[in-house]
Structure 1
Amino acid sequence: MGGARRLMRAGRNAPPRAQTPPGMSVGGWLHAYGGGSFAIAANAQWVVGEDNKVYRLRPDGGTEPAVAVADDYLYGELHHAGETLLAVRGTDDGDQIVEIAQDGEVRVLVSSTGFLAAPQLHGGTLAYLEWDSDRMPWDSTRLMLIDSLPDQTGPGHLLAGSDREAVVQPLWGPGGQLYFMSDRTGWWNLYRWTGEAVEPVAPMDADCAPAPWEGGYRSYAFTDSGQIVLTVHDGIRTELVAMDRDGLLTRPATNVTSVKPYVATLGDHVFLIGSTPTSRPSVRTVDLGRPGGQPAVSIGSSTNDISVLSTTPPPAIRTARSGRLPIRYLLHQPDRGQPAPLIVRAHPGPTDDVPLRLDWTVQFFVSRGFAVAEVAYRGSTGQGRAFRQSLHGHWGEYDVEDCATVARHLLESGKVLREAVFISGASAGGYTALQAACRQGPFTAATATSAIIDPARWEKAVPRFQRPHAAILAGRAGEVRAEAMHIPVLLIHGTADEIAAAEDARRFSDDLAALGHAHETLFLEGVGHYLSAPAALERALEAELDFYEGLMRREP
């Protein structure tokens, strides 16, 4: 659909080159979204293929199965330590942490009817995460330890985590101390286990990790000179912070505004995937060994900036108030001195954020004269545990209120056209957009892409990883009903969507037609949930643009 995902390798003076064969795409679907899909040793490399099995890469460029391809497990969360390759594998009945031997023999170390993640081995001690089958990993996880592998297997003992604490990203650091992120204070901050006690490393009122939608996230790393580098996220901007042995914080890589949770180090060089509103995401490096701080330099290209965007006003971080609660949003405006039509975007997730980076969908509309407001509504990450959980039991209510608040805030400013205020969202954001269309409010029309329409039915259809999410979020808003629509809607949906069933969108479209309600529908044949293929995305964007322009051509 959208091309192959390949494992790449770049040297200090060598351009990036593929390690996997052209016909192979890397990445499985453990826990619905995959992650931790490769592991590297001095003389070996392993990847998870699209069939969810583990493969060893041969020196001749080929691959060979590292496990029996006939089993029913989905594999991910690969981790290599010493001579040991670990993985998490799962079915609908639960998860296991396993050791994969050179001959393909698989030894089960831990089993759970819930979920397991992030196995990390140091000496004979295994650290890993566990959470119950009715929880999500950003709400409640436990950090467990098994002290004496290979003699001891089975459940470990609890080190951190509870019903009110989410622990993520355990990692063995220098000196054999175990580090991890915890939101025990309300913010995801870095801690370490000294062998006797848990102590904070870099306390701050900020989230230093994202919600773990995928395995293999790493938001911090260690340098040879004793520094710790970590990301700091406020829900919109993510920056890199370096902390020295004395606890002094500096901010290298000030030329990036968005950093993916895949931070790595080599010596005193930090490697990250960074971007800005005018540059594509790219692998970049920062040399912390040089005094005065250095910008992050892209690897493999001389420049990554998009010069055509230099005349567009930079996006602005704004705040509107929903009652007493501040709601932050990212505003993109066209270069025009008069009010513009507005698109309010509800991000998917809804446990997601509004990254300050180059977004080609946003640029598609801004370049055609639209203002775009991306709302970090209640439930978004990067603003602490309480804000992240504030949407629980209120999905389709608080998110709608916050998007409407932003629209009214911009209307009051006089910067947008009153008869051209649209709301758009995909997946969970599509549900928000449709629920907004059910209310009297500031919106002229709504676009819902790959939308969830009935949370109760969706809960039964999604993979087991996400079923608790649907149950926890569900509130009074319930199913979107055609008879409740107040404004025209555009439905865009892939017929091969396995997350939000296309049949729900067809049924809803038929109900709208039966009522004679103004709507348009675009079904994309053979397309999945994410519209990742360029042709599918192009058709969707053109349909959305035509929908808005058609409404604006009508008499008020």
Structure 2
Amino acid sequence: MPQVTPYGSWKSPITSDLIVAGSVRLGEIRLDGTDIYWSEGRPTESGRSVVVQYSQGQTIDVTPAPLNVRTRVHEYGGGAYQVADRVVYFSNFADQRLYRQPIGSEPVPLTPEAEFRYADAVVDQPRQRLICIREDHTAGGHEPINTVVAVGLGSQLDAGQILVSGSDFYASPRLSPDGRHLCWLSWNHPNMPWDGTELWVASILADGTLGSAVKIAGGSTESVFQPEWSPDGVLYFVSDRTDWWNLYRWSPSQSEIEPVCPKAAEFGLPQWVFDMTTYGFESAESLICTYMENGVQHLARLHTKTLQLSEIATPYSAIGGLKVAPGYAVFIGGSTTRPSAIVRFDLQTRETQELRRSSHLEIDSGYISVPESIEFPTENGLTAYGFYYAPKNQDYTAPTDERPPLLVKSHGGPTAATSANFSPSIQYWTSRGIAVLDVNYGGSTGYGRTYRERLKRQWGIVDVDDCVNGAKYLVEQGLVDSNRLCIDGGSAGGYTTLAALTFRDVFRAGASYYGVSDLEALARDTHKFESKYLDGLIGQYPEELPIYQQRSPIHHADQLNCPLIFFQGDEDKIVPPNQAEMMVEILRQKGLPVTYVLFTGEQHGFRKAENIKRALDGELYFYARVFGFQLADAIEPLLIENLPA
């Protein structure tokens, strides 16, 4: 018989220790012959990222400690390694040099010690080189220079020969199967890659340099994603020229671009990191892809001759990092009730083999809250979306006259999206009796370009309205307590959190994870990749400075009247610590309850197990003290300044 206990005070088996113990971040799948590789970010090894190989039923670590396979190109990285013929080529985080490591041997550097960063490589075997993106920081305080370069694989250290230059950014250099052509993406300030990119192709000359480049698709208002050559030399790519990211193709022997799967669905993603993939080739006639339609993700096969799209049933509701080989696909698969895993999926038998799970958590279904996809009304007669998680714990029930606290989660980006994929950290809250609403506010990816562009010049308004209206909707449905609404978010989600607490009077507490409080400071201080991002989200800087000040919580702290906790990494180059510290000082002066937790050695997002644990437990402790509910477990206290006894 469940015990009657107030919401927030339920004892849960889903502890922070359990969440971080043995948990890893899975990513960057690579296929090499029959061997499968992926990267693992390990919180228990201070966040170190390791390349792992699965071969003939055996799993081994490839890259030895203390090497950390991670690139800082665009600061967010991605595309940190490549594999060909059982040789791994990777970027090491500490020095940002490229290394070459045959399986079973020690890594050897390819590039010199210099202020260069590398990412998104492809191996050009006939010419014995890597073709990759290079970010040149040798100019010191000036903006780094991004180019496409070739790095030789010989014994001499090679910083790279520039093949393509002149644009602000590059991504996705890809060789045609015959090695005669190279394609790539480029874009320029103030665009982000989901705003507008260009797809280029050039022939490779006898000396390894490129011939005249031809623009195939794209522009300032068309986002091209993931160019990929088919085995028979046709160039496929994803474009949102019809509002939705759909598949197209082009051949060097023809001049026309052909749509191959027109559909009101998203076959693309916002390129926050390098080497994001949503499709691959089983053969020249069979393309395997993922797409998002009405908030639901699908796996499908596209027959490239008939253009027939056939859905492939899987037990997974979220599929990412898709790589394809003859007869099988490998992806990161997740569901609403199980941690994500590296999955080998047989395309004929439909059998699945989980090679590595992101967590060894085995949780009884009686403690798992299954999300409900909801739509709710928001400003201007529009609709917004989210996933609602009701409190769930088989051992407890709440008094009949009580409604649970609600934690609204605002994702980062802001041009990103949340999914219904199993999240141990969300279950941490729901199993303790706290409801969660994970919001895909206007501006999120997955609902077409028009929905994504709701945030154009409206950041701090549309996202805040949608988070507020989502909470109000659940209150009106009688599902949550209107007096115990709180909100959290990281990075851009941290800004939405701070803006919602400052400019609206709905939430009673919040947590900002490396969030933005001063938009002007962000425009001045952030890194190259995002240095003009706010032009589209807010307005041109400094020409439209009054708008920046109008929407910056730091300038309107007189309107902020609720408790706040801040979590920050001291090495964050994207949102520096001063963004949090300015707000903390104002809250101190106002006499509002405030806590500031600064983690040493962390950047933009926390990777160390002890810090992930501290942040999760610390946020719960903060809300318990603010809302006055008793915790079932002892948690190391945090100093909450200005909190009445």
Q: Shorter-chain-normalised TM-score: which range? A: over 0.9
Q: Which residue of structure 1 lines up, in the alignment, with residue 364 of structure 2?
A: 308
What secondary structure is seen at the aligned counterpart in 1 of 2:339?
Answer: strand
What secondary structure is seen at the aligned counterpart in 2 of 1:280?
Answer: coil
Q: Deviations over 1:374-405 (max 9, x none)?
A: 00001111111121122121111110000011
The answer to whether the 8 Å contact 2:230/2:284 transfers is no
Q: Which runs of 5+ in 1 are unaligned?
A: none
1:165 aligns with 2:222: yes
1:493–1:309: structure 2 CA closer, same or farther, 3 Å change rule? farther
What secondary structure is seen at the aligned counterpart in 2 of 1:223?
Answer: strand
Q: Which residue of structure 2 lines up, in the alignment, with residue 233 of structure 1?
A: 292
Residues 14-93 of structure 1 mapped to structure 2, 5 A cutoff:
14-50=57-93, 51-67=95-111, 69-84=112-127, 85-91=130-136, 92-93=143-144
Q: Which residue of structure 2 lines up, in the alignment, with residue 543 of structure 1?
A: 618
The answer to whether the 8 Å contact 1:399/1:432 transfers is yes
Q: Hey, what's the Cα distance between the residues in 2 that align with 1:148 and 1:59?
A: 30
Q: Hey, what's the Cα distance between the residues in 1 that align with 2:423 and 2:466?
A: 22
Q: Deviation at 1:471?
A: 2.7
1:59–1:243: structure 2 CA closer, same or farther, 3 Å change rule? closer
Residues 25-424 of structure 1 mapped to structure 2, 5 A cutoff:
25-50=68-93, 51-67=95-111, 69-84=112-127, 85-91=130-136, 92-103=143-154, 104-105=157-158, 106-122=160-176, 123-150=179-206, 153=210, 156-195=213-252, 196=254, 197-224=256-283, 226-234=285-293, 236-244=295-303, 245-260=305-320, 262-290=321-349, 294=350, 296-299=352-355, 306-323=362-379, 324-335=381-392, 336=397, 339-424=403-488
1:142–1:301: structure 2 CA closer, same or farther, 3 Å change rule? closer
Q: Hey, what's the Cα distance between the residues in 2 that align with 1:392 and 1:161?
A: 20
Instruction: Read off the aligned partner of 1:99 and give its amino acid letter.
Output: A
1:478 aligns with 2:562: no
Deviates more, 1:476-485 or 1:369-378: 476-485
What secondary structure is seen at the aligned counterpart in 1 of 2:458?
Answer: coil
The answer to whether the 8 Å contact 1:169/1:217 transfers is yes
- The normalised TM-score by structure 2 is 0.81
Dislocated runs of 4+, deviation >6 Å: 301-305
Q: Which has the higher contact order (CA 8 A, sep 6+)?
A: 2
The answer to whether the 8 Å contact 2:569/2:604 transfers is yes
Q: Deviations over 1:109-162 (max 9, x none)?
A: 111241111111123211111101322111110001112434553762211001
The answer to whether the 8 Å contact 1:225/1:268 transfers is no
Q: Hey, what's the Cα distance between the residues in 2 that align with 1:226 and 1:327?
A: 38
1:230–1:55: structure 2 CA closer, same or farther, 3 Å change rule? same
Q: Hey, what's the Cα distance between the residues in 1 that align with 2:69 and 2:359?
A: 27
What secondary structure is seen at the aligned counterpart in 1 of 2:482?
Answer: strand
Q: Deviations over 1:238-284 (max 9, x none)?
A: 33122234333333252111112x21122111111111122222111
Instruction: Read off the aligned partner of 1:165 and give its amino acid letter.
Output: E
Q: Which runs of 5+ in 2 are unaligned?
A: 1-42, 137-142, 540-546, 630-643
Q: Deviations over 1:269-311 (max 9, x none)?
A: 1111111122222111221223xxx253312579978332454
Q: Deviation at 1:519?
A: 2.8
1:479–1:225: structure 2 CA closer, same or farther, 3 Å change rule? closer
Q: Hey, what's the Cα distance between the residues in 2 that align with 1:144 and 1:52?
A: 27
Instruction: Read off the aligned partner of 1:343 and give its amino acid letter.
Output: L
Q: Hey, what's the Cα distance between the residues in 2 that align with 1:235 and 1:94?
A: 39
Deviates more, 1:478-487 or 1:357-366: 478-487
Q: Deviations over 1:316-373 (max 9, x none)?
A: 1011011421111001111246521100111111111012212122111111100000
Q: Deviation at 1:46?
A: 1.0
Deviates more, 1:105-114 or 1:542-551: 105-114
Q: Hey, what's the Cα distance between the residues in 2 that align with 1:217 and 1:372?
A: 28
Q: Hey, what's the Cα distance between the residues in 1 that align with 2:243 and 2:621?
A: 44
1:469 to 533, 556, 571: 533
Q: Hey, what's the Cα distance between the residues in 2 that align with 1:422 and 1:382?
A: 26
- The normalised TM-score by structure 1 is 0.93
Q: Which residue of structure 2 lines up, in the alignment, with residue 6 of structure 1?
A: 50
1:225–1:113: structure 2 CA closer, same or farther, 3 Å change rule? closer
Q: Hey, what's the Cα distance between the residues in 1 that align with 2:488 and 2:315?
A: 30
What secondary structure is seen at the aligned counterpart in 2 of 1:407?
Answer: helix
Instruction: Read off the aligned partner of 1:241 and give its amino acid letter.
Output: A
The answer to whether the 8 Å contact 2:175/2:183 transfers is yes
Q: Deviation at 1:420?
A: 0.7
1:503 aligns with 2:563: no
The answer to whether the 8 Å contact 2:369/2:427 transfers is no
2:503 to 439, 458, 472: 439
User: RMSD over aligned Cα, in angstroms?
Assistant: 2.3
Instruction: Read off the aligned partner of 2:191 and give its amino acid letter.
Output: R
The answer to whether the 8 Å contact 1:15/1:300 transfers is no
Percent identical residues: 27
Q: Deviation at 1:45?
A: 2.4
Instruction: Read off the aligned partner of 2:62 and give its amino acid letter.
Output: Q
The answer to whether the 8 Å contact 2:62/2:103 transfers is no
